[in-house]
């Protein structure tokens, strides 16, 4: 892949400066997970503690900050299953501009409610990528507003890259960085930031086996689209995207080392452990990386962890109260 697929170092650092007043620098928290030996350091990057409860506010805030003021004042439109919706709503609220968000049926109600709480107007649509995109594009044309893409845009990737810059600042010798993958904006940003900083860390994408379109794309060397009825089977609603983007895939091909897929019970066990033992409120998507880490420890994966510190990205914590209660009561494997 061409080196130009990666954002420049200057672009990434400039985006981080734009975000300083809008996002939190989340810490790296040491994790004592079952099966972790004393000589292995593992950290979680808890973006569930971010404003809006997920990393998505980073890309959304950078996108709005990049808009021409006259264009921004006309308002923004986006489509999202929930976390990007809240990120755009919060960013629009900070700028004092109107936001309309298309949220597909089947999204967790807590994400819908919190999007409205930020002042955004919400419109529902069928749960397919085509319906989401078409509805958002139509409403943007009707209102002369700007569409904020959920992942496949340089400004979104720049915003998510601020996570990678923070990881490198706090743990420059990270040997492994595990990141969940939906549309690819998060892992593309983190990978771009780490590679631009010169990091040699092994960067691994994580998906549920029920929604492993990015893993299949990586193996095939081209973007593979999965049907909506397939990806919506997973409990990890934050990664039900049917395909990665063209830009994000180019960066993934250039900078990511591989993929790990996990099963639904592994996701739930990891989420339950994070809730019960780590005392972190996480949604199932946010537990994907711990589930993958556990699988890598057992050797039940085609890849292996490199020697040295490991970072697990916890993407968000916007979980329904009933789901959180179930995770709190779930019996953990011995």
Enumerate the active-site residues: 56, 81
Question: 184 in helix, strand or coil?
Answer: coil
Is the Cβ–Cβ distance between 285 and 239 less than 8 Å? yes
Q: Are 185 and 156 in contact (CB under 8 A)?
A: yes
- Which helix or strand (DSSP H or E) is residue 122 part of? strand 121-125
Calpha distance 274→265 (Å, rounded): 14
Q: Cβ atoms within 10 A of the Cβ of 15, count? A: 29
**Residue of 183, 150, 158, 185 whose CA lies nearest to 78:** 150
- The C-alpha atoms of residue 154 and residue 168 are separated, in whole angstroms, by 21
Q: Write out the two tokens for 178.
A: 């595990």
Tokens of 265: 């019970």
Give me the count of residues in the chain: 334
Q: How many Å is the Cα radius of gyration of the chain?
A: 18
The rounded distance, in Å, linking the Cα atoms of 288 and 282 is: 10
Which tokens in the block code for residue 191? Answer: 């990978």
């Amino acid at each position: 892949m061409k080196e130009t697929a990666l954002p420049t170092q200057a672009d990434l650092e400039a985006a981080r400066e734009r975000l300083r007043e809008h996002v939190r620098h989340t810490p790296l928290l040491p994790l004592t997970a079952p099966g972790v030996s004393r000589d292995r350091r593992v950290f979680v990057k808890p973006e569930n503690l971010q404003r809006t409860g997920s990393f998505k506010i980073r890309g959304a805030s950078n996108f709005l900050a990049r808009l021409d003021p006259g264009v921004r004042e006309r308002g923004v439109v986006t489509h999202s299953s929930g976390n990007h919706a809240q990120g755009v709503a919060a960013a629009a609220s900070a700028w004092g501009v109107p936001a309309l968000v298309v949220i597909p049926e089947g999204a967790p109600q807590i994400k819908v409610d919190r999007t409205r709480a930020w002042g955004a107007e919400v419109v529902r649509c069928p749960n397919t990528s085509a319906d989401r995109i078409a509805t958002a594009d139509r409403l943007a044309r009707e209102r002369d507003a700007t569409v904020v893409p959920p992942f496949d845009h340089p400004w979104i990737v720049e915003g998510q890259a601020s996570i990678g810059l923070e990881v490198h600042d706090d743990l420059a010798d990270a040997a492994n960085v595990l990141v969940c993958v939906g549309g690819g904006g998060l892992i593309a940003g983190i990978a771009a930031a780490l590679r631009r900083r010169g990091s040699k860390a092994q960067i691994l994408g994580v998906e549920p086996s029920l929604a492993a379109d990015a893993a299949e794309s990586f193996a095939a060397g081209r973007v593979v689209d999965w049907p909506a009825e397939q990806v919506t089977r997973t409990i990890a609603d934050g990664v039900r995207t049917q395909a990665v983007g063209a830009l994000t895939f180019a960066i993934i091909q250039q900078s990511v080392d591989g993929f790990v897929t996990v099963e639904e019970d592994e996701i739930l066990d990891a989420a339950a452990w994070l809730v019960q033992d780590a005392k972190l409120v996480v949604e199932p998507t946010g537990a994907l990386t711990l589930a993958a880490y556990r699988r890598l420890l057992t050797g039940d994966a085609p890849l292996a962890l490199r020697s040295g510190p490991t970072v697990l990205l916890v993407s968000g914590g916007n979980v329904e109260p009933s789901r959180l209660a179930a995770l709190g009561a779930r019996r953990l494997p011995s």
